[in-house]
Amino acid sequence: MQRQLGRSGQIVSGLGLGCWAIGGPFWRGDRPVGWGQVDDRDSLAALQRALELGINFFDTSDVYGCGHSERILGQALAGRRDEVVIATKFGNLFDEQTRRITGASGEPDHIRRACEASLRRLRTGWIDLYQFHIGNYDLSRVDEVLETLEDLVAEGKIRWYGWSTDDPARAAAFSRGEHCAAVQQRFNLFEGNAETLAVCEQAGLASVVRGPLAQGLLTGKFSHTSTLPADDVRHGWDLQGGEQARRLDVLGALREILTAGKRSLAQGALGWLWARSAAIVPIPGFKTAAQVEENAGALRFGPLSDDQMAEIQGLMAA
């Protein structure tokens, strides 16, 4: 199963891999924004398995692990560059040594420096999809960002660009750019902005979906008694009485539909996204080869049926 990456015309595997988790721990102030400890050997093995399974789209960011995710991805894809589509992001300022985010910038000089640094870490001469990572950036300054990105396209440093934002007005503003190919947004069974998705559909952009498995909730591995480590971005989840607990209960009601035909829960959740829109390219995260294998297995099943989608909609509305 394959999909077109928006206006770029590039054909990518129906799902990509989101490389946030393999960056390891990093912080914004005292708050963890990584996914806990990682073993780089596991990350490299997982990326190799993805390539073997036909996944050719990889999404990362310069800030994931404060440079570490890009370095691992560059190492894994060495010698395979022409076979893959690499997406990364810019906009955050960070200290690689302390692994702390120190600010944000959309200034032209920063974009250029960030691009050069990402090219070095990724061991590549070009970036296929370069995405603005400041989701609430001042709309009045968008043209300046677009102009800088178009210059980078002209110089051959990047080929296409997009914005990681859930806001439809910002998505629409970026869609004016000649080489805008995608908007990255959060979308899954539990959450997502349908207006932002509609902008993608109307403008011919890919909707690169982050959080397609609701940060792991839709895999079925959590219960009301689960706990998460202090250096995990999900550490503050209330699985006993908060929103995440409510979602666990809803997932229980949807389980039979999502797992029909021998799908796993995660595979059913990915099938729901493919059925939701032809523009969607989900990028589930991973830490192990086993997780990559399960997610890639969803490609064999494809989208959920119209009847399954209607049944889920009815249960969600109840």
At 2 the three-state DSSP class reads strand
User: Which domains occur in the chain, in start order?
Assistant: 2-317 (3.20.20.100)
pLDDT at position 230 is: 83
* Tens-level pLDDT at each residue, the chain (318 residues): 999 999 999 999 999 999 999 999 999 999 999 998 999 999 999 999 999 999 999 999 999 999 999 999 999 999 999 999 999 999 999 999 999 999 999 999 999 999 999 999 999 999 999 999 999 999 999 999 999 999 999 999 999 999 999 999 999 999 999 999 999 999 999 999 999 999 999 999 999 999 999 998 999 888 888 888 888 888 888 888 888 888 888 899 999 999 999 999 999 999 999 999 999 999 999 999 999 999 999 999 999 999 999 999 999 887
Q: Give 241's contacts (C-beta < 8 A, 6+ positions apart).
A: none
Tokens of 199: 């902008």
| Of 117, 152, 160, the residue nearest 12 (C-alpha) | 160
Give the predicted TM-score (pTM) of the model.
Answer: 0.95
Compute the distance between CA of residue 281 and CA of residue 182 in angstroms, rounded to an integer.
10
Tokens of 105: 């910038």
pLDDT at position 60 is: 98
Q: Give 6's contacts (C-beta < 8 A, 6+ positions apart).
A: 160, 162, 180, 181, 182, 200, 204, 205, 206, 279
Between CA 13 and CA 23, with CA 18 as vertex, the angle to 5 degrees is 145
Number of helices followed by number of strands (H, E) in the chain: 10, 14
| Of 100, 1, 122, the residue nearest 56 (C-alpha) | 1
CA 206 from centre of chain: 12
Tokens of 21: 């988790």
CA 254 from centre of chain: 24
Compute the distance between CA of residue 61 and CA of residue 167 in angstroms, rounded to an integer.
19
Tell me the CA end-to-end span of the chain in Å, nearest whole number.
33
